[in-house]
């Protein structure tokens, strides 16, 4: 078997892996990237913004159960991550508000991916279509991996630092059922299909610590019965406006504070009967939030019109009285839902608990109704790391020579979310810097 020597082995070629690899090259290390898909990029190709909470106080408020050290590292490292993007010559816009609590930048992720690929191909080595079979250990430290290349041949890669960045396990039905929810495999995959838990399994095989089960996932509400045709649908079909609407389950009742965000409503809906619900907006919400841009600079898409054209369950009610004609085959009691909307309109904060914004009632017909379900982007369970990207051991301490970044990590978020691209950048850079400092010591 061929033995290849390098300084840094990066397993995974998405945002986190590419970032770690190029940063390692920048630090003077020899680098090899192994990506099992035919091309690099992963789910980052479908993203357009790098964002997170602007301060420690905001991060602590929106993500109170997340690991405190990782929360702080993400906020502290974000400005340097944006500077890193710009230093590579990649288009990165000025900061804009994201959701109600975040700050972020629109970036050209495809340009970033291509620039990283170009630099790695020129100064390092890149294997695509390659599978990592096992990690290699020596004297208690991870010292590389055994890899099967695209032509079927196997090789042993020996190195001082191995960085796991395979993108999570959202495409593996067994793992999402175990670590997210027993019914999580009913969700559409709002992500690339190559993220099947390779990093998690490799880390566990050498004694790594992992996050707690059922810590949630990042995803969005989408229309039921409307399959994704291509990755552009991941954004086009996401019902971001739900935080301004009302969401009812099959028992005709609200079960969450919708104002906290569509991503949190998606998590809550997974716990409801059949994981589907009825999303109701009125004319004001349709005009201001369905037809408007979700984030400054984003293209506005009429989600109701698109759902209609794609054959999803949706309808238009001129008045609340017309909810009585909601098709019985859907399983909801339209009259009961209309009564609850009237109650919300007259009771205000009493009917809409813990309001943080937008307490305006839904009383301007017509009403736009879409049946919705959650779709999965990536899980919050994963490999535990410290603030420097070093993998923690289940028995304590860190695992020498092993690092992780991106959606492979766990502990950062717990039923909360403050960006996916930002942690990939921040901890990809941290892992590379820590590995380089260890090598220089």
Q: What is the pLDDT of residue 357?
A: 41
Give me the numbers of helices (H) and strands (E) for the chain, helices first please: 12, 21
**Cβ atoms of residues 382 and 424 within 8 Å:** no
Residues 144, 386: Cα–Cα separation, whole Å: 20
pLDDT above 70: residue 285 = yes
Length of the chain: 441
- Least Cα distance to 294 among 60, 56, 48 occurs for 48
Residues 10, 163: Cα–Cα separation, whole Å: 5
Please tell me whether the peptide bond between 328 and the residue prior to it is cis, using omega within 30 degrees of 0.
no
Q: Tell me whether strands 217-223 and 131-138 are parallel, antiparallel or unpaired.
A: unpaired
Query: 281: which 2 tokens?
Result: 């907006």
Instruction: Report CA dihedral (54, 55, 61, 64) to the nearest 10 degrees.
Output: 100
Residues 147, 363: Cα–Cα separation, whole Å: 60
Q: What is the pLDDT of residue 297?
A: 67
For 153-172, what is the mean pLDDT? 97
For 252-274, what is the mean pLDDT? 95
Which sequence spans correspond to the domains of the chain? Answer: 2-214+380-440, 219-376
For 219-376, CATH number?
Answer: 3.90.700.10
379 or 213, which is more confident: 379
Share of the chain above pLDDT 70, in %: 97
Report the topology of domain 2-214+380-440. Answer: FAD/NAD(P)-binding domain (3.50.50)
Confidence of residue 359 (pLDDT cuts 50, 70, 90): low
Backbone angles phi and psi of 278, in degrees to 5: -110, 120
Q: What are the tens digits of pLDDT across the range 196-211?
A: 999 999 999 999 999 9
Q: Tell me whether strands 409-410 and 383-384 are parallel, antiparallel or unpaired.
A: parallel
Backbone angles phi and psi of 143, in degrees to 5: -125, 25
pLDDT above 70: residue 353 = no
CB atoms within 10 A of CB 317: 21
pLDDT above 60: residue 165 = yes
Share of the chain above pLDDT 90, in %: 88
């Amino acid at each position: 078997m061929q033995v290849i020597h390098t300084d840094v082995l990066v397993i995974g070629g998405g945002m986190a892996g590419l970032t770690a690899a190029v940063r390692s090259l920048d630090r003077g290390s020899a680098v090899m990237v192994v990506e099992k898909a035919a091309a690099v990029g992963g789910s980052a190709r479908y993203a357009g913004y790098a964002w997170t909470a602007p301060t420690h106080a905001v991060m602590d408020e929106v993500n109170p159960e997340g690991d405190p050290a990782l929360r702080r590292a993400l906020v502290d490292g974000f400005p340097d991550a944006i500077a890193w993007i710009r230093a590579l010559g990649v288009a990165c816009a000025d900061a804009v508000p994201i959701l109600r609590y975040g700050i972020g930048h629109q970036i050209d992720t495809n340009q970033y991916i291509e620039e990283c690929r170009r630099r790695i191909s020129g100064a390092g080595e890149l294997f695509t279509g390659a599978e990592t079979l096992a990690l290699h250990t020596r004297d208690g430290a991870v010292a590389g991996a055994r890899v099967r290349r695209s032509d079927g041949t196997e090789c042993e890669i020996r190195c001082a630092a191995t960085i796991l960045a395979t993108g999570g396990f959202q495409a593996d039905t067994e793992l999402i059922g175990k670590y997210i929810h027993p019914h999580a495999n009913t969700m559409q995959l709002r992500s690339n299909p190559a993220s099947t838990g390779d990093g998690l399994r490799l880390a566990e095989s050498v004694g790594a610590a992992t996050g707690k089960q059922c810590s949630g996932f990042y995803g969005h509400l989408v229309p039921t019965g409307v399959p994704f045709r291509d990755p552009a649908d991941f954004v086009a079909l996401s019902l971001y406006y739900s935080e301004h609407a009302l969401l009812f389950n099959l028992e005709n009742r609200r079960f969450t504070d919708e104002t906290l965000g569509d991503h949190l409503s998606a998590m809550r809906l997974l716990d409801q009967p059949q994981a589907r619900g009825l999303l109701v907006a009125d004319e004001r919400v349709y005009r201001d939030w369905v037809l408007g841009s979700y984030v400054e600079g984003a293209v506005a898409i009429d989600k109701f019109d698109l759902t209609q054209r794609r054959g999803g369950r949706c309808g238009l009610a001129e008045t609340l009285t017309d909810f009585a004609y909601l098709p019985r085959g859907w399983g909801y009691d339209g009259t009961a839902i209309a009564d609850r909307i009237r109650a919300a309109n007259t009771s205000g904060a009493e009917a809409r608990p813990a309001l943080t914004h937008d307490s305006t009632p839904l009383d301007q017909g017509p009403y736009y109704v879409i049946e919705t379900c959650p779709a999965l982007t990536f899980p919050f369970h994963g490999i535990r790391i410290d603030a420097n990207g070093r993998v923690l051991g289940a028995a304590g301490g860190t695992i020498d020579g092993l690092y992780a970044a991106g959606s492979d990590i766990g502990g950062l978020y717990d039923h909360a979310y403050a960006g996916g691209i930002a942690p990939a950048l921040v901890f990809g850079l941290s892992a590379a810097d820590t590995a380089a400092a260890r090598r220089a010591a």
